[in-house]
């Protein structure tokens, strides 16, 4: 690996001033660092690229008491370029790990669990696990998605553990989800089924029951203390504000997201290296393809820049998306690599950012608060991005009410919004259960409703056609059809976008890639719209006919041919020249 200078964290009693040597000249010990706590030691070693796989003795010596540790060195199992990343050619499927499918009910509880909730509570664990996800890989492949973003599954031995965002061990999968080996198996089997895996990663904070909280290596390992710390400050703009003060940015980056989530101080050089190495380890060990970084603006931004640089330097095809929960394009752009609007003295090195601006516009349409003009108004602002195709596009996720809930159950409006998600630009993301129209509710535990059929005792299995209601099958078939079309016609995924907003209920998207051109006609109104085929000629003068790729119906481009677009309806046409 390029990252061949590794820093080991060693924990034990009274380790101050311990000397460390290597029994093998090929494996070098470059430095040994004491911590402020006498129970930690940081050892810098150097692993040459030609070092054979095996175990190498590290010798710890203090006051003539010697302990030998066999340090394992493994051969890489994947080439760096085999970690595929994700792009606008993919459709990501977001799985909330505890609520998707329980493949092994025997691991639903652990003996020393500190969880204060039961499966009957909205915030209780329901039992979803790695085995459950593995059991649905064929289903997901057939659905038509190509990458899985799975919420964190690291050990969360906390009073509320089901969400996974308060880790108590950064190197261990929570046993209620499975094991490190079963996670590695998940990645391997996903790849065999044509699916990529995106790790949901958290640099910002840990859970309050992490062992570090009983014995911090350094006093500045976390920001503040349990008794005295800054509260959460949700100003994602402060860091980018050219008129602002660094004190305001510090409030956001050093405040505790929740009182039970100690805020990590990535400015500490030992913690910074620990977090970078931990991420590289998971990529190497499990073979994942990408990362979604949680609470991105809340971390020290210089650290995140170095963290992303280290990852992308090692894995050239990898991708990372940062969660920027702000519906302002210029603010979102400010965190993206090579941003035209960023005025900070260093680059973020972050390839992809979450498009909460378009999400807000889509949700305003779904709720009836605004028309599709809000979508047009948002897409026009793509001028602030270095690469709009590296935006994560969605109309709901695990933190906000589901699209069907926002639409008040209006399936037709839901379908219109779905077409914008899949066919504008960027990387589409669907929350689990979108394909059957799960509605959920306004509370976290409601919008993260268990997938019907994924748990013992469920009265029906919505993973199957027979187990779905007529309405669920109608939605599933529609979603499945759009995903198949997106996979069949690459132009729909990675084509250059041209948008035409007509000022009314008609919205036109053109996608162009190589010699192919697609036209997506969207009627977001309550009345049918007549669309003369000749109206495409100013944009494509050589167009001869347009073919509906759903029905295969051909329409000659001339004066007489008029297409009727039904209310709240979307059709996709291939333009033949």
State the virtual CA torsion across 118, 120, 125, 130 in degrees, nearest 10.
130
The answer to whether 443 touches 411, Cβ cutoff 8 Å, is: no
CA 138 → CA 85, 135, 190, 429, distances in Å? 21, 8, 9, 19
**Contact, 576 vs 543, CB < 8 A?**
yes
H/E segment holding residue 185 = helix 180-192
Q: Is 323 a catalytic residue?
A: yes
443 in Cβ contact with 449 (< 8 Å): no
DSSP secondary structure string, 41-88? Answer: EEEEEE--TTPPSEEEEEEEEETTEEEEEEEEE---SS-GGGS----T
Bridge-partner residues for 565, per DSSP?
Answer: 529
CA–CA separation, 480 vs 482, rounded Å? 6
| CA distance readout (Å), 224 to 30, 67, 300, 302 | 32, 35, 15, 19
Q: Which of 416, 372, 449 is nearest to 569 (CA)?
A: 416
Active-site hit among 254, 323, 360, 396: 323
User: Environment class of residue 335 by beta-carbon count within 10 Å: exposed (0-12), middle (13-18) or buried (19+)?
Assistant: buried
**Exposed e or buried b per residue across 94-133, where buried means at least 16 C-beta atoms within 10 angstroms of its C-beta:** bbbbbbbbbbbeebbeeeeeebeeebeeebbbbbbbbbbb
Contact yes or no for 262/171 (Cβ under 8 A): no
Residue from 102, 294, 360, 396 carrying the catalytic annotation: 294
* Active site annotation includes 294: yes
Report the chain's terminal Cα–Cα distance, integer Å.
Answer: 50
Strand partners, 500: 508
CA distance 27 to 368: 64
Report the DSSP beta bridge partners of residue 71. 56
CB 270 within 8 A of CB 218: yes
Indicate the length of the chain as a whole number: 577
Question: Is the distance from CB of 474 to CB of 481 less than 8 angstroms?
Answer: no
Give the catalytic positions in this structure: 294, 323
């Amino acid at each position: 690996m390029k990252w061949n200078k590794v820093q080991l964290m060693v924990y034990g009693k009274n380790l101050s001033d311990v000397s460390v040597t290597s029994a093998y000249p090929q494996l070098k010990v470059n430095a040994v660092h004491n911590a402020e706590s006498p129970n930690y030691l940081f050892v810098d070693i150097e692993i040459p690229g030609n070092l054979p796989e095996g175990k190498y003795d590290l010798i710890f010596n203090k006051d003539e008491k010697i302990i030998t540790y066999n340090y394992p060195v493994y051969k890489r199992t994947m080439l760096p370029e085999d970690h595929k990343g994700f792009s606008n050619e993919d459709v990501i499927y977001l799985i909330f790990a505890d609520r998707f499918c329980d493949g092994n009910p025997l691991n639903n509880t652990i003996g020393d669990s500190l969880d204060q909730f039961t499966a009957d509570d909205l915030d209780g664990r329901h039992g979803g696990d790695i085995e459950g996800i593995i059991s649905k890989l064929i289903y997901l492949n057939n659905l038509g998605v190509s990458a899985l973003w799975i919420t964190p599954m690291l050990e969360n031995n906390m009073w509320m553990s089901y969400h996974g965002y308060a880790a108590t061990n950064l190197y261990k999968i929570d046993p209620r989800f499975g094991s490190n080996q079963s996670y590695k198996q998940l990645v391997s089997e996903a790849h065999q089924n044509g699916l990529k895996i995106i790790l949901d990663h958290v640099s910002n904070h840990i859970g309050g029951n992490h062992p570090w909280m009983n014995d911090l290596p350094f006093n500045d390992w976390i920001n503040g203390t349990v008794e005295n710390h800054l509260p959460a400050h949700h100003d994602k703009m402060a860091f980018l504000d050219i008129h602002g003060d660094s004190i305001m940015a510090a409030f956001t980056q050093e405040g505790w997201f929740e009182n039970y989530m100690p805020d990590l101080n990535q400015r500490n050089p030992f913690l910074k290296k620990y977090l970078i190495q931990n991420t590289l380890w998971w990529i190497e060990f499990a073979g994942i393809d990408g990362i979604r970084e949680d609470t991105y603006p809340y971390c020290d931004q210089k650290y995140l820049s170095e963290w992303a640089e280290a990852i992308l330097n090692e894995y050239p095809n990898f991708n990372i998306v940062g969660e920027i929960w702000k519906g302002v394009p210029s603010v979102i752009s400010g965190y993206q690599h090579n941003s035209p609007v960023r005025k900070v003295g260093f680059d973020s090195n972050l390839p992809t950012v979450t498009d909460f601006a378009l999400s807000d516009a889509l949700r305003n349409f779904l709720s009836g608060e605004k028309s599709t003009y809000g979508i047009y108004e948002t897409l026009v602002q793509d001028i602030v991005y270095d690469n709009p195709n590296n935006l994560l596009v969605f109309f709901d996720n695990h933190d906000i009410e589901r699209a069907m809930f926002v639409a008040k159950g209006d399936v037709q409006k839901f379908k219109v919004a779905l077409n914008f998600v899949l066919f504008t630009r960027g990387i589409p993301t669907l929350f689990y259960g979108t394909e059957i129209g799960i509605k959920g509710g306004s509370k976290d535990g409601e919008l993260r409703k268990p997938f019907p059929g994924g748990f013992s005792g469920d009265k029906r299995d919505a993973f199957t056609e027979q187990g779905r209601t007529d309405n669920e099958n109608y939605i599933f078939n529609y979603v499945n059809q759009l995903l198949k079309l997106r996979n069949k016609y690459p132009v729909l995924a990675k084509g250059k976008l041209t948008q035409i907003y007509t000022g009314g209920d008609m919205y036109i998207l053109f996608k162009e890639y190589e010699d192919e051109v697609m036209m997506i006609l969207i009627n977001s109104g309550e009345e049918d719209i007549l669309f003369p085929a000749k109206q495409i000629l100013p944009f494509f003068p050589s167009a001869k006919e347009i073919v509906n790729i759903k029905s295969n119906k051909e329409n000659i481009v001339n004066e007489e041919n008029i297409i009727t677009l039904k209310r709240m309806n979307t059709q996709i046409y291939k333009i033949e020249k």
